[in-house]
Amino acid sequence: MHSAKQNLKVQYYVTVLSIIVFLLKTWTYVLTHSLSVLSDTLESIVNIVATLVGSYSLYIASKPKDKDHPYGHGKAEFISSAFQGSLIIGVGCLIIYKSIDSFIHPVSLHNLDKGIWLLFTIAVINIVTAYWVIRLGKKNNSLAIISTGKLFQIDFFTTISVAIGVLLLILTGYDKIDAIIATVLGFYIIYDGYKILRQSLAGIMDEADMALLEEVIFEINQNRNQNWIDLHNLRVIKYGSLMHVDAHLTVPWFYNVNEAHAAVDDLTSLIKNKFGNTIEFYIHTDGCMPFSCAICTLEHCEKRTSPKEKKLEWTMENVLLDIKHQLK
């Protein structure tokens, strides 16, 4: 809950910064009449809308679970990020359109020397904000905050590119540089918007995060408890900043309820220590079967019916299956 409130507070600060950056860019465009600066300014309008939507989504996501939303409201973050990605793609298309139009109807530029200093100032604001916001988003496992940080990161690259373009224009006098840079930026913005939209839709559709699954499996493998005979039917789903882990853990069949519960606690503590406390677990325990003896690492087991043959490595192939492990 603390991280949710922190995310919401950060989003408010970022919204104010987005408005300041937009006003600075508007001033720069009024001074220069540069198309690439106009493109950069239009992107800032998207940033303002996106951060406002992001703020509302984080407010919704911070609400506690209720009877209508037993898994919480975390997916509001994915909807917000999808909206942000769509807006970014729209801006990219608009920038390309304006760039093509400028080739046909050139616009005279003014006060480029003053404009370039304003652009470099804006770029510094953007990169400092992006670094801070993305770092916090990763710490709090919030896609909405990371997406907002990405907006400022994109804004930094576009603004610094525009500044370099204006500098080249001053040095060379070649007026088509402005439109060329704006076109390149348009395609870059579309690509980045697509990546944000793709990741958001994956979260909405509960698509498996294979990279995250590999991390979880690797961490468990490195710290396996001998009481964990096998782990199967593993599922990892993200609900905004909340991660939900569902799995079946096979323990010795003769364990009582308390002993089985202790084995589950060891597993959940291991995952929390690595991935943070915003994790919800549903771990089902299974009793081992006679064929489990061949892979069981439990020492001094009086109930063993056959000797251990080998330690079976847990991988993406066997941990995701809904079946107890056994040697073929």
Question: What pLDDT score was predicted for residue 241?
Answer: 67
Question: What pLDDT score was predicted for residue 107?
Answer: 62
Which tokens sit at 301?
């087991």
CA dist., res. 156 & res. 150, Å (int): 10
Q: Which has more confidence, 77 or 17?
A: 17
Query: Dmax over Cα atoms in the chain, in whole Å?
Result: 89
Question: What pLDDT score was predicted for residue 169?
Answer: 76
DSSP code per residue over 128-159 = HHHHHHHHHHHHTT-HHHHHHHHHHHHHHHHH
pLDDT tens profile 145-193: 887 888 888 888 878 877 887 788 778 877 777 778 778 888 888 888 8
Task: Using alpha carbons, select from 283, 205, 196 the residue that is nearest to residue 239.
Answer: 205
Task: Using alpha carbons, select from 229, 244, 231 the residue that is nearest to residue 301.
Answer: 229
Which tokens sit at 43?
């992107």
The torsion defined by the Cα of 171, 176, 182 and 185, in degrees rounded to 10, comes to: -70
Residue spans per domain, the chain: 2-204, 210-319
- Split at pLDDT 50, 70, 90, the class of 234 is very high
Answer yes or no: is pLDDT of 249 > 90.
Answer: yes
Question: What pLDDT score was predicted for residue 124?
Answer: 92
Q: pLDDT above 70 covers what percent of the chain?
A: 97
Q: Which CATH number fits domain 210-319: 1.20.810.10, 3.40.50.1360, 3.30.2350.10, 3.30.70.1350?
A: 3.30.70.1350
Question: What pLDDT score was predicted for residue 60?
Answer: 81
Question: What pLDDT score was predicted for residue 229?
Answer: 93
pLDDT tens profile 108-154: 667 777 788 888 888 999 999 999 999 888 887 777 788 788 888 88
Q: Residue range 271-299: average pLDDT? A: 88
Question: What pLDDT score was predicted for residue 228?
Answer: 94
What is the overall mean pLDDT for the chain?
84
Answer yes or no: is pLDDT of 272 > 60.
Answer: yes
Q: Residue range 35-57: average pLDDT? A: 79
- The CATH code that applies to domain 2-204 is 1.20.1510.10
Q: Residue range 300-322: average pLDDT? A: 88
10 Å CB burial of residue 84 (0-12, 13-18, 19+) is buried
